[in-house]
Amino acid sequence: MPPSGGRGPIRRVEWGVNMANLNGRTRLENTYDAIVVGSGITGGWAAKELTQKGLKTLVLERGPMVRHLEDYPTATTDPWQAKYPQGQLPPEELNAHYAVQKRTGYTLTEHTQHFFVRDDQNPYTEESRYDWIRGYHVGGRSLTWGRQSYRHSPIDFEANAREGIGVDWPIRYEDLAPWYDYVERFIGVSGQNEGLAQLPDGQYQPPMAMNCVEKAFKAKSEARFPERRITMGRTAHLTEPTEEQLSLGRTKCQYRNLCIRGCPFGAYFSSNSASLVAADRTGNLVIRPGSIVTSLIYDEKAGRASGVRILDAETRQEEEFYADVVFLCASAFNSAWILMNSTSSRFPNGFGNASDQLGRNVMDHHLGVGASGEAPEFADTYYSGRRPNGIYVPRFRNLGDAATQRSDYLRGFGYQGGASRSGWDRDLTKPGATPAPRGFGAERKAALSQPGPWVIGLGGFGEILPYADNRITLNHEVRDQFGLPTLSMNVTIRENEIAMRRDMQTAAAEMLEAAGFKNVQGRDSGYAPGLGIHEMGTARMGRDPKTSVLNAHNQVHECKNVYVTDGAAMTSASCVNPSLTYMALTARAADHAVQARKRGEL
């Protein structure tokens, strides 16, 4: 990251200076056109859009600096360089420091632990189990996200109103479609247009290729279930970079599948490799790491927010920054935390919370259910590379026609999955034996030199409805390492999601069996909210200030110069990965903010 990656302007205090003048000068030095809280997927986009439109913009990030290329310490670490077998941290370290982060079962290793929070330093209270997976650093979870990039469809934006669930979205697909186009062209999404109403097409670079088993699965399963389309995942990886992307220092995907460590090629989209770089090149960007935003500053006379208060993570000193426009992009829970912690005579129950919807309607995507099978007839074929992507099966339930209608649940699900051969790190334990490897030395080496069997799996991602009592609240009894209040979680899935899970398992097994795979087994390994790492809904958009926190442009109903564009804004969840929608909402909101500021409305 270029020079703006510092801690902000250096202030020199002179002896004997008039204190009023000093305070005035400090305020002037701490004043910007716009403030963005958070530097992840939405924070990076807000910074890019605001700076490119001419606004001097301060990005406040609570965690440390992470510079593209320089601060990916394990990006090129080879397997034999790992301290622990397969990089797996010892149980005592996981239990002591990462009790929640380890719950994913796959993201937290010695190669990635620097991109995840220590749970012992960042506590929260689980009134019901909630798996809050976090990363506090410049770039946030844009460095570790799954990169699957799908548009919400017209039926997603209309579903709440049609079914009488929650509140109606204040926008429709047509409002966001040009912004989806805009975002996809910049970030670079590889994929294939399919002409499906429930999965709108987009601006794609060439798709990654299916392997032989996936091609067979597509042909045979679609012959039996033509309504269940199988396509390549639409993923934010460059396969045919544009001139704009190359000019940012990005290049095409190298098929290493080490994305979660940080990509030195800039092949997948992250704030660090793309949006923050573009923002910095304008000369209008300042990034201040180690800046924990504790509240919004509300100007009672002006009836607007004048800035934010921070706690410096190093000095533990409080400081204030000022701007005409504030964008909260800290993630759904942290943006809600800031709003809830920003109380005043105007907002005694939390900033913009006259509706009492702040912190409510928590959504995620439920997962951990599907099916798998074996494909022994392809034992003589293999593939090259480690493709960082899989296949995708778009939603095929409850699409508005009798053929897809279910009577046991609302909404729907999609599948992500793929086929592969197990490799050199597979278990060679004899079936039924005590945990002892089948051979060792030359015998084991010979066995591992041959690829393992082909396996294929489908895992469902299902929509969770917005329930008002699925909520987070401020907990003043439990404090974090900085002495700040924490969150309490009370979020559960209900019968609608449970019924959907039964169908998700059954339908996956049906498809694999139709393709002729062997030893097909359905599975439901259970799910706790949060495990989808798609927290949403804590400050939802809506048409009525009495029932929602934000309006159609992501402005707080009661304070129009504060915008919230991360997952907090979501009114419903759909069943697709939400980050593309967050980015489109952010770009649209930033454009609105710049124009509204020019008109003197903010």
Q: Establish if 35 belongs to a structural domain.
A: no
The domain of 504 spans 194-232+365-427+441-463+493-528
CATH at residue 448: 3.30.410
pLDDT tens-digit readout, 480-522:
999 999 999 999 999 999 999 999 999 999 999 999 999 999 9
pLDDT tens track for 268-326? 999 999 999 999 999 999 999 999 999 999 999 999 999 999 999 999 999 999 999 99
- Tell which residue, 507, 527, 243, 284, has the closest CA to residue 398: 507
**Residue 432 included in any domain:** no
In percent, the amount of the chain with pLDDT more than 70 equals 94
If we measure between CA atoms, which residue out of 175, 166, 232 comes closest to residue 581? 175
Distance CA 207, CA 180 (A): 18
- Residues 6 or more apart whose CB falls under 8 angstroms from that of 393 comprise 228, 229, 230, 231, 414, 415, 416, 417, 458, 511
Indicate if the pLDDT at residue 11 is higher than 90: no
CA distances from 189 to 235, 519, 521, 525 (A): 5, 35, 33, 31
| CA–CA gap between residue 339 and residue 350 (Å, rounded) | 6
Pairing assessment for the beta strands 189-190 and 304-312 based on DSSP bridges: unpaired
Q: What's residue 187's pLDDT?
A: 98
Residue scoring higher pLDDT (18 or 450): 450
What's the gap between Cα 524 and its chain centre?
24
Rounded to whole angstroms, the Cα distance separating 203 from 272 reads 22
Q: Which two tokens stand for residue 561?
A: 């110069």
Label residue 447 by pLDDT band (50, 70, 90).
confident
pLDDT-derived band at 10, boundaries 50, 70, 90:
very low
Residue 3: the pLDDT is: 35
Q: What is the distance of C-alpha 28 from the center of its chain?
A: 35
Confidence at residue 392, expressed as pLDDT on a 0 to 100 scale: 98
pLDDT confidence bin for 429, thresholds 50/70/90: low
Report pLDDT for 67: 97
Look at residue 18 in the predicted model and tell me its pLDDT.
52
Domain count, the chain: 1
Question: Model confidence at 431, in pLDDT bands (50, 70, 90)?
Answer: low
Residue 8's pLDDT band, with cuts at 50, 70 and 90, is very low
Q: Which pLDDT tens digit goes with each residue over 592-602?
A: 999 999 999 99
Q: Is residue 142 part of a domain?
A: no
Band of pLDDT at residue 20, cut at 50, 70 and 90: low
421 within a domain of the structure (yes/no): yes
Q: Whole-number mean pLDDT of the chain?
A: 94
Mean pLDDT over 83-110 rounds to 93
In a domain? residue 554: no
In a domain, 248, yes or no: no
DSSP-based three-state secondary structure for 589? helix
SS3 label, residue 175: helix
Query: Nearest 5°: CA angle at 301, between 298 and 307?
Result: 25
What is the per-residue DSSP string for 367-433? -SEEEEEE-GGGTT----S--S--EEE---S-SSSGGG--SS-SS-EEEEEEEEE--TTS--BPTTS
Residue 158 lies in a domain: no
pLDDT digits (tens, 9 = 90+) for 366-409: 999 999 999 999 999 999 999 999 999 999 999 999 999 999 99
Pull the structure tokens for residue 148. 């699957």
d(CA 122, CA 453) in angstroms, rounded, equals 42
- Per-residue pLDDT at 23: 65
In a domain, 485, yes or no: no
C-alpha triplet 467, 335, 289: angle, nearest 5°: 155
Q: In the predicted model, what is the mean pLDDT of residues 173-180?
A: 98
pLDDT tens by residue, 47-70? 999 999 999 999 999 999 999 999
Q: What is the pLDDT of residue 406?
A: 98
Long-range contacts of 69-74 (CB under 8 A, 24+ apart): 69/264, 71/262, 72/261, 72/262, 72/263, 72/264, 73/114, 74/110, 74/111, 74/112, 74/114, 74/261, 74/262
What is residue 446's predicted lDDT score, i.e. its pLDDT?
A: 80
In the prediction, which pLDDT does 439 show? 60
Please give the average per-residue pLDDT across 128-141, as a whole number. 98
- Of residues 584, 589, 592, the one with CA closest to residue 183: 584
pLDDT given at position 451: 86
